[in-house]
Chains A and B, each alone.
Chain A
């Protein structure tokens, strides 16, 4: 009996049949399980919507090969290697977290397979690489946008910056903001915390003693929500500014009315798409998922379209030609705006600033590069 079971289970595993020939394979390396699975899930929704709307290129169907990196750095490198050597993909969409993109990007670069990250904003990801690209803006630009918005729109002169010392994203963004804000003539004080902290009263009391015009918290949503609550309890009524890590429905769930007046820089606002492609994306997304799309979904959507456009212009599935075409992307109309990719593989496009108003993410303004 046991032998029969073993033989059966092996037979099942071996029966996996590779589906179809004559397709163009694109690998998708996302965290589908593990601690940042939610990010992978949201981005994949966007990629799938793009595939439903534009299923083919060069007369062939595009086949997505989804590989889960388990939110783990070692696996992030392994899946890229697997997609290239085992699945023979022409290009890869991935990965989400910057640290994963660094690990996977090293392999793609070595193998000369173009890899397009939807959401890794750390400047190191594309630095010195010829085959790595991204669909989002980079942290220096996001920091710049936040500084401009704080100085011009919020008329802030004194800012307290809260840095999450565990997150490279937060450390980088804080530094870029401070550089720009100080250059404009603002004054900056710093406070530190780390992911998982629950109590910020010590840092907040210290910060509020400096009577700041704005609190800049470039971290992730759980801490931002808690910090907003505690700041309001301590009597702070001014604006709180954050980065794109703030955008998640949980921000409002945890923060309640305290997060009203939280501004954050982002890639996209579903109620305010700039382009006709963006409108098409929002309509399709809402009809399928019965909810409004997140910025990550929009970035996933754009990644697919950018890659498809590059394959079309290259008129070939040769990875080197796709990479060359990606690098020459000019004013491409995506859901998150008009996208230009520079020679370093970074994206130049405008950023939006959203505000939490009555429990909704509301569009405030657009800041162009």
Chain B
């Protein structure tokens, strides 16, 4: 079988990235603000999904605490970029503590700090709970995710408690979000295909065998968990500056968000980075596009009134169909590489794998 050379691969990828850049530029300018927002949201979801798939797919440990790290990143970055005047207005129950009440920094450093703080939390959560395996680990991370949310909910002098933060500057643009997505894919992609990533995949298949080969299971899992936490924090920071207001409700930065991201990576294929991106694209676009079925329709001269909730019904049906026919998600564990596309479309009958 013909292998695509490293050089061809590199050239094609560069062309693809530049092409995507031009497409985004075109889309941002012609599709209107509504679709610009959705395109930005796609990249934010994709960052959350790619970072999640590093833990749940590649490393094969089932974490349910992702939204906790997203929330940490969102709050940290938002508290750093909120204008000082806005802070004074919003914190009317208990004033914000020093020094947060008197600093305001730029978007890029705030996002990075948001990621670092989230990574730190991932370390604190991961260090004790990674000693557990399987379902026990899932429950421990679920609990930690909720603890983070409840701490946020009750720390009035830091996070404004249940009132949430508002008036966060809308810094997140198509460029910031897709730029960060590129960084996320490059970092997590090279991690997945390094010797380190091979060790992760080995221990996701069989922990005992991997340990027998001399892989330090705990250290590898913890590193994956912390890297995942870092990018979850970045995703959270971008999300906060996209939505401009955040609060610690279970439906906004709580367990529901973890489930949304879980749906994306399961749809796309657990362990596949390109699958996670596809899942995020599908999730964000379908949710908006299906709104059409909720508006009144003129169907062969008969007007059908819009039924709210109809789109969610179709959405759920599509999920079930995908899970029935592609049990392992759209991509499975494969990556959408040039080689994959070549094999898919150009491979002649009779070629050997």
Contacts and interface: CB of A to CB of B under 8 A. Distances in A.
Contact of B299 (A12, A68, A74): A12
Contacts of A75: 287
Contacts of A15: 297-299
Contacts of B104: none
Given A82-B288, A165-B153, A171 B162 contact: yes
Contacts of B249: 73, 99, 166
A81 B37 contact: yes
Main secondary structure of the interface of B (DSSP, over half): helix
A81 B291 CA distance: 13
Contact of B90 (A16, A35, A84, A124): A124
A328 interface: no
A122 to B, nearest CB: 8
B251 A16 contact: no
A128 B291 contact: no
Contact of B291 (A67, A73, A99): A67
B170 A19 contact: no
Interface stretch (B15-23, B230-238, B305-313): B305-313
A79 to B, nearest CB: 8
A168 B162 contact: yes
A103 B291 contact: no
Given A33-B309, A68-B294, A106 B162 contact: no
Given A32-B309, A124-B163, A106 B33 contact: no
Contacts of A35: 251
A168 B296 CA distance: 35
B312 A16 contact: no
B243 A74 contact: yes
Interface in B151-209: 153-154, 161-164, 166-167, 170
A241 interface: no
A102 interface: yes
Interface size for chain B: under 10, 10 to 19, 20 to 34, or 35 or more residues? 35 or more
A66 B294 CA distance: 9
Interface in A155-170: 165-168, 170
Nearest to B287: A75
A81 B34 contact: yes
Interface in A111-155: 111, 122-124, 127-128
B29 interface: no
A16 B41 contact: no
Which of the listed residues B41, B161, B170, B245 has the most CB atoms from chain A within 10 Å of its own CB?
B245
B296 to A, nearest CB: 7
A172 B163 contact: yes
A70 to B, nearest CB: 7
B190 to A, nearest CB: 31
Given A12-B299, A16-B298, A124-B90, A99 B245 contact: yes
Contact of A102 (B166, B295, B312): B166
Interface string A318-349: 00000000000000000000000000000000
B255 to A, nearest CB: 13
B32 interface: yes
Contact of B37 (A12, A78, A128): A78
Interface residues of A, number: 47
Contacts of A67: 291
A111 B32 CA distance: 12
A337 B249 CA distance: 34
Nearest to B168: A106
A87 B312 CA distance: 21
Nearest to B85: A128
B129 interface: no
B154 A110 contact: no
B170 A72 contact: no
A33 B34 contact: no
A77 interface: yes
Contacts of B37: 77-78, 81
Contact of B292 (A16, A37, A72, A99): A16
Nearest to A174: B93
B245 A167 contact: no
A354 interface: no
Interface string B39-51: 0010000000000
B251 A165 contact: no
A17 interface: yes
Given A99-B252, A175-B93, A168 B308 contact: no
Interface in A291-334: none
B293 interface: yes
A73 B292 contact: no
B309 A86 contact: no
A230 interface: no
B263 interface: no
A85 B299 CA distance: 25
Contacts of A167: 162
A73 B74 CA distance: 15
Nearest to B239: A74
B223 interface: no
Nearest to B288: A78
B247 interface: yes
B139 interface: no
Given A68-B308, A175-B93, A86 B161 contact: no
B192 to A, nearest CB: 29
A85 B288 CA distance: 13
Contacts of B163: 122, 124, 168, 171-172
A71 interface: yes
Contacts of B309: 32-33, 68
10 contacts: A33-B308, A70-B312, A78-B37, A81-B33, A82-B291, A84-B34, A85-B33, A127-B89, A171-B161, A172-B163
Interface of B: 32-35, 37-38, 41, 86, 89-90, 92-93, 153-154, 161-164, 166-167, 170, 243-245, 247, 249, 251-252, 287-288, 291-299, 303, 306, 308-309, 312
Q: List the 4 shortest-distance A-B pairs measured between CB atoms, nearest first.
A: A32-B308, A85-B34, A33-B309, A106-B244
